[in-house]
Chains A and B, each alone.
Chain A
């Protein structure tokens, strides 16, 4: 009986494999860097203020700024459906929408609201994600950012960065400086430090609780570490000469800093308590602007050892130095994406300073911006966006975001503030 079954099974396998072989195979290579068309309807508010329903504009702004989405104009579209059962899919298809976000806001208690939302797949004709957030009335923007984060993660597979913070330096009254912290989109600005002397190079600790920065208050550049919650700070480096360019190691235990202690600018390592100072690279040339690889095994930096400034990397285990950038005569200010696959830097191209992105696997370089005077690019913690300073000749400096496909550049709404030196905080769990 067993034998008989075996024969039947073998026969079935043979038959099915012959059917499989009979299938025509089509190979499809590559694709397009297109934006996903998404419709975000105004949330229906029950008992809440009217403008609170405009949470959809926060979500639209977030998704659009990422460069991966194309928020559709939904003005003139009939009333927002309450669930996927009420969705007229053919209407949304004709609008080219691939996804639809709907939601509602209810008052649960005094000054407390509940935001319920759903993400609907137009092609699959079903809800693929939904959620609820409860918060205060004035947290409506924060809730909007959280919804965007969830949608972004579901559709792109990467964590959203819409609920993160940024830091930047503001120059005011011509000679005063502030170290500010704000939402990633420039809203809710608070000041961490006010100084009569310049502040530069703010850098977030990996846990997002501290910021290291360079201050000139000792009449020369020295490095401080400041706690964000308490405002407490300590002097990390005040060595002979200049102390600059702090870069946190991924584990947050050490920093790479640049000192002119014994010669020209050289990279040193220092523990966060100021102990164990070691010179990293012995070179006659200038080595500066250190940036750690996400695994903490390499440090990327700018050096003029080959003539003009180029980006090199130093392996902390083998002490091996290798050049990373070859395109262009002037490349500086390196930083790495969270997965270590992309290198971001500033390049001089036809006399203009532009933000460039290099794929470290293929070494392909993509210029994300057009210049002419871009500065200080830094990655978003998910590596999908870049924060940078841009200005036109003689015009006000602005901080903006650019998506890594280069499709979307957005200035932060900081008005006429004189801003510089941005830094993007980590994603908080």
Chain B
């Protein structure tokens, strides 16, 4: 075995220093750690399902022999008690189980009952809802009908109002001397007034033309009508130009008849201008 010869003094110093440090650490370990010399205290724990009932023992009467007997008796008693207790426990458990089962059954019954009640409630709700819907539908239909009628009445009233206004203004103008710059008067007829009535007649007939019965093409129909001063037709409308669509010709004729009475002026001069009319229809507009 060959040792390596230490050649350097520094290395020797370092080795000594290392040795000293290790020694110091060893001493610190010995004196700083408290080595245990006593046996540790330990305790025993017994686990019970329930706390046993303690029997009162008469300390004064109890001799050591009796004590032993008593001890034995207590032991027997304890085991009997434990048995009785276990039995009671078992019975209690069975009772509890039965009770729980009964409770469960009752809860289930209750839930079923509730469910049934809920279903009945929902069905009732549904029926009520349906009834409500039916009622609403009925109401809506009636409302629609009423609205339609109201609309017609409003339109009729508008026309009547316009007619009345026109009559009034006509009367006023008849009373008033004609001013310069007012409607042109041709052949004793006020053209402004004439155009107003023409417009009224046009509006009233137009709203009765059912253009759906006239196809999609650009077509023209012409009718001639004669009117009584009341606005009623004198005889039937006479078609002078057909659209070549029978349903359209009929629909336009119906529109004219339906529009009676047509708005007419009181002034006889104006009326004579409007008593015979030529009506040109373009149900699908013009190209």
Q: Please give the residue numbers on chain A whose beta carbons come within 8 Å of chain B beta carbons, in ascending order.
A: 23-34, 36, 68, 98, 123-124, 155-158, 341-342, 359, 361, 405
Q: Which residues of A contact B206 (CB under 8 A)?
A: 28-32
Q: Which residues of B contact A25 (CB under 8 A)?
A: 277-280
A157 to chain B: closest residue by CB: B247
- A73 to B: closest C-beta gap in Å: 9
Contact between chains at B209 and A24 (CB < 8 Å): no
A-B interface, 3 closest residue pairs, ranked by CB to CB distance from nearest = A31-B209, A157-B247, A31-B211
- B274 to A: closest C-beta gap in Å: 6
Contact between chains at A30 and B212 (CB < 8 Å): no
Contact between chains at B209 and A28 (CB < 8 Å): yes
A27 to chain B: closest residue by CB: B280
Contact between chains at A28 and B205 (CB < 8 Å): yes
Q: Which residues of B contact A98 (CB under 8 A)?
A: 254, 258
Q: Which residues of A contact B224 (CB under 8 A)?
A: 23
Q: Digitize B87-112: 1 where CB-to-A-CB distance is under 8 Å, 0 elsewhere.
A: 00000000000000000000000000
Given contacts A28-B280, A30-B209, A123-B257, contact A341 B274 (CB under 8 A): no
- B127 to A: closest C-beta gap in Å: 19
- Counting chain A CB atoms within 10 Å of each CB, the highest count among B212, B215, B274 belongs to B212
Give Cα A33–Cα B283 distance, bound, in whole angstroms.
Answer: 11
Q: Which residues of A contact B248 (CB under 8 A)?
A: 157
A360 to chain B: closest residue by CB: B216
Does B190 lie at the interface of the complex (its beta carbon under 8 Å from any beta carbon of A)? no
- A64 to B: closest C-beta gap in Å: 13
Contact between chains at B277 and A23 (CB < 8 Å): yes
B281 to chain A: closest residue by CB: A28
Contact between chains at A155 and B213 (CB < 8 Å): yes
Does B207 lie at the interface of the complex (its beta carbon under 8 Å from any beta carbon of A)? yes
Q: Which residues of B contact A155 (CB under 8 A)?
A: 213, 247, 250
Give Cα A25–Cα B202 distance, bound, in whole angstroms.
Answer: 10
Would you give 29 A-B contacts (Cβ < 8 Å), ordered by A?
Answer: A23-B277, A24-B194, A24-B198, A24-B273, A24-B274, A24-B277, A24-B278, A25-B280, A28-B209, A28-B279, A28-B280, A28-B282, A29-B285, A30-B209, A30-B283, A31-B207, A31-B209, A31-B255, A33-B210, A33-B212, A36-B210, A123-B254, A123-B258, A156-B212, A156-B247, A157-B245, A157-B248, A341-B216, A361-B216
Q: Which residues of A contact B194 (CB under 8 A)?
A: 24
- How many chain-B residues does the 8 Å CB contact rule pick out? 39
Q: Which residues of A contact B150 (CB under 8 A)?
A: none
Contact between chains at B213 and A157 (CB < 8 Å): yes
Contact between chains at B210 and A23 (CB < 8 Å): no
Does B246 lie at the interface of the complex (its beta carbon under 8 Å from any beta carbon of A)? yes
Does B286 lie at the interface of the complex (its beta carbon under 8 Å from any beta carbon of A)? yes
Q: Which residues of B contact A157 (CB under 8 A)?
A: 213, 215, 245-248
Contact between chains at B205 and A33 (CB < 8 Å): no
Give which listed residue, A26, A30, A32, A36, contacts B278 with CB less than 8 A: A26
Give which listed residue, B254, B280, B284, contacts A26 with CB less than 8 A: B280
Contact between chains at B202 and A27 (CB < 8 Å): yes
Does B173 lie at the interface of the complex (its beta carbon under 8 Å from any beta carbon of A)? no
Give Cα A26–Cα B279 distance, bound, in whole angstroms.
Answer: 5
- B215 to A: closest C-beta gap in Å: 8
- A198 to B: closest C-beta gap in Å: 34
Q: Which residues of A contact B247 (CB under 8 A)?
A: 155-158
Give Cα A27–Cα B202 distance, bound, in whole angstroms.
Answer: 7
- B261 to A: closest C-beta gap in Å: 14
Does B276 lie at the interface of the complex (its beta carbon under 8 Å from any beta carbon of A)? yes
Give Cα A90–Cα B272 distance, bound, in whole angstroms.
Answer: 30
Give Cα A226–Cα B20 distance, bound, in whole angstroms.
Answer: 112
- A90 to B: closest C-beta gap in Å: 13
Give Cα A26–Cα B285 distance, bound, in whole angstroms.
Answer: 14
Give Cα A342–Cα B215 distance, bound, in whole angstroms.
Answer: 11
Give Cα A25–Cα B274 distance, bound, in whole angstroms.
Answer: 9
- Counting chain B CB atoms within 10 Å of each CB, the highest count among A28, A33, A123, A361 belongs to A28
Contact between chains at B254 and A28 (CB < 8 Å): no
Known contacts A27-B282, A32-B211, then 4 further A-B pairs from the complex at CB < 8 Å, ordered by chain A residue = A26-B198, A26-B278, A33-B210, A98-B258
- Counting chain A CB atoms within 10 Å of each CB, the highest count among B201, B224, B278 belongs to B278
B199 to chain A: closest residue by CB: A26
Give Cα A361–Cα B287 distance, bound, in whole angstroms.
Answer: 11
- B198 to A: closest C-beta gap in Å: 5
Q: Which residues of A contact B255 (CB under 8 A)?
A: 31
- A336 to B: closest C-beta gap in Å: 13
Contact between chains at B274 and A30 (CB < 8 Å): no
Q: Which residues of A contact B209 (CB under 8 A)?
A: 28, 30-32
Q: Which residues of B contact A30 (CB under 8 A)?
A: 206, 209, 211, 282-285
**Residues B128-146 near A (CB distance < 8 A):** none
Contact between chains at B216 and A359 (CB < 8 Å): yes
Q: Which residues of A contact B214 (CB under 8 A)?
A: 31
Give Cα A157–Cα B273 distance, bound, in whole angstroms.
Answer: 36
**Residues B181-229 near A (CB distance < 8 A):** 194, 198, 201-202, 205-216, 224
Give Cα A342–Cα B207 distance, bound, in whole angstroms.
Answer: 25
- A70 to B: closest C-beta gap in Å: 9
